[in-house]
Structure 1
């Protein structure tokens, strides 16, 4: 039987969101100039924005940091940063940028990068989750661990936003839970240690499906009929299409391909709910103002119009009372949401 020689973990994928710039700077500032691995960084960025992240990280430490370009071979000792509105994937050591469906409302999505690395590089991959809200990166980090790679998670107590580290730790038994300032040194050790190959778990069908969708443009029928489970009863916040549950962990896809985790879906629907209430509040305020104006216009014209003026006045009072009740409810709801999203 042939003996497979030891290998080294040479691909590091890093995910960050809110509060992530500070954490990323802390990580790359501790990496040496002779770092032998390649680093892929995915941070949530809005479409149409101009990102200075590569330039920021280039100045933070000795390693060159560049914005990833489609079709470029990965370079050891280089930090490749996902551009806005593109998923950053990898295939045969070549970078692939796609406009696949958003995941949890994001493109680039951390899970997309992590899944791609887990499938392409297997146990050569090191997954790192840094500061951010909600749970993007948790499922992708689990895919890396399932394929034999180690997990590194920023200590939630050290993160400006603890949601992503906490959700990652709820899915993965990470070997390394560290402050951001200590992660760089650990990564440098991990990429230099020879690793004896072991059995690698074959990729799950759900993992292959989600990676395939991320590589394709948004299209109808991203999920074939055979890949759809019975409808979940939920709708996609991005396109209002029906969502189907794709795995037991509570992850959903619509027919277009938009992906949602349960926590992200809950947060998105909370935003939709608040938006609807704000529209209702505006309508009530405008109704009260218009009714008051009509009451003033008709009240002094003649005795015959006093009944009409009183009805306008009553309508204005009812609308104003309803608006005040709704305004208090909204202030309470927004305050609770802010507390839930606050740093841990």
Structure 2
């Protein structure tokens, strides 16, 4: 029997199923594949939100216990094979190209790498109407723009029923933005995939914006000129790098992208700004604590000196003003008045 060649692998995979999930998504994905009869012409690519410290090997082990479908981790240049599951790895974006997987260490999108939007856009460009996107349980809105890209290129879209999802944000976000092909309990998604494969799908004209943004994701860094083609300059700055954000509109989906490559939906941008603001407030409180300690040392020293540079009264006034500012910061940070510089943000 002859061995398969690289060309055979490329020909084998004619359909791509992209599955994105975040909080609560691993158990949900396991339930999905437990009820899935793998199609030999289809590659299944799972993109969960992973921190850089998580183990990809654990995911393979966990998922392999739920299904007999072969599972493996994404590798740069890995050939796609029909009837197999490929799992994204921590700290790398997954890019789907005809016949193979590519990995990128580009900027985070919606705070994640791997990001669901990045992977879904690349699959939409590479496999067009032969792509199916599935969004499972998760927080915030990563995946919505990617599902819009798949739909714009003629692909199919399936969303886990938000009422069933452990965390409904991601499924509901897609439903708020798009009219999807199916909204289903997880146990019914496998059957729906088989049905959708039998339905003819129209190859739609190439959406230039999606194509350009998918190509930008292949770069580890982009330029101002690259991003200018995608949208209009906003009056906001990137919370991750401080660069100017450009506003991009995908139908009813409003997003922001900087020329470094960071990208955010509006809720994700709000979440990131909150985090940066809290960090700045904690930093301010720490600096005020240090200033207070310095003023108290100056007061103790001046009280022992003749020919004082500062009167102790002036130092007392400055200490009083500083204590007022510190009390206000503690209120904003929801600290008890007696708390020092301790808590979740310290």
TM beyond 0.5? yes
Cα shift readout 1:42-86 (whole Å, capped 9, x = no counterpart): 122234653322222122222222101122221222110111222
Q: 1:277 to 1:76 in 2, by over 3 A?
A: same
- Residue 267 of structure 2 corresponds to 263
Instruction: Report the CA distance between 1:185 and its aligned residue.
Output: 4.3
Q: Which has the higher contact order (CA 8 A, sep 6+)?
A: 1
Instruction: Report the CA distance between 1:206 and its aligned residue.
Output: 0.6
- Residue 173 of structure 2 corresponds to 167
2:334 is the counterpart of 1:331: yes
Contact 2:302 2:310 in 1 (8 A): no
2:108 is the counterpart of 1:102: yes
- 1:128 corresponds, among 128, 134, 149, to 134
Provide the aligned length of Structure 1 versus Structure 2: 320
Contact 1:9 1:125 in 2 (8 A): no
Instruction: Report the CA distance between 1:214 and its aligned residue.
Output: 0.9
Q: Which runs of 5+ in 2 are unaligned?
A: 1-12, 336-346
- Residue 65 of structure 1 corresponds to 71
2:19 is the counterpart of 1:17: no
Q: Which runs of 5+ in 1 are unaligned?
A: 1-7, 333-344
Instruction: Report the CA distance between 1:33 and its aligned residue.
Output: 6.3
- 2:311 corresponds, among 308, 324, 341, to 308
Q: 1:270 to 1:56 in 2, by over 3 A?
A: same
Corresponding residue SS for 1:25: helix
Structure 2 CA distance for aligned equivalents of residues 289 and 12 of structure 1: 60
- Where do 1:180-329 residues align within 5 Å? 180-187=186-193, 189-190=194-195, 193-197=197-201, 199-221=202-224, 223=226, 227=229, 229-247=231-249, 249-299=253-303, 301=304, 308-329=311-332
Instruction: Report the CA distance between 1:90 and its aligned residue.
Output: 1.7
- 1:76 corresponds, among 82, 85, 91, to 82
Instruction: Report the CA distance between 1:205 and its aligned residue.
Output: 1.0
Q: 1:126 to 1:181 in 2, by over 3 A?
A: same
TM-score computed with the length of structure 1 as normaliser: 0.82
- 1:176 corresponds, among 164, 178, 182, to 182
Structure 1 CA distance for aligned equivalents of residues 323 and 23 of structure 2: 38
Contact 2:14 2:41 in 1 (8 A): no
Structure 1 CA distance for aligned equivalents of residues 223 and 203 of structure 2: 34
2:58 is the counterpart of 1:55: no
Q: Point out the more displaced range, 310-319 or 91-100.
A: 310-319
Structure 1 CA distance for aligned equivalents of residues 130 and 96 of structure 2: 13
Instruction: Report the CA distance between 1:228 and its aligned residue.
Output: 5.8
2:46 is the counterpart of 1:41: yes
Instruction: Report the CA distance between 1:232 and its aligned residue.
Output: 0.9
Instruction: Report the CA distance between 1:224 and its aligned residue.
Output: 6.4
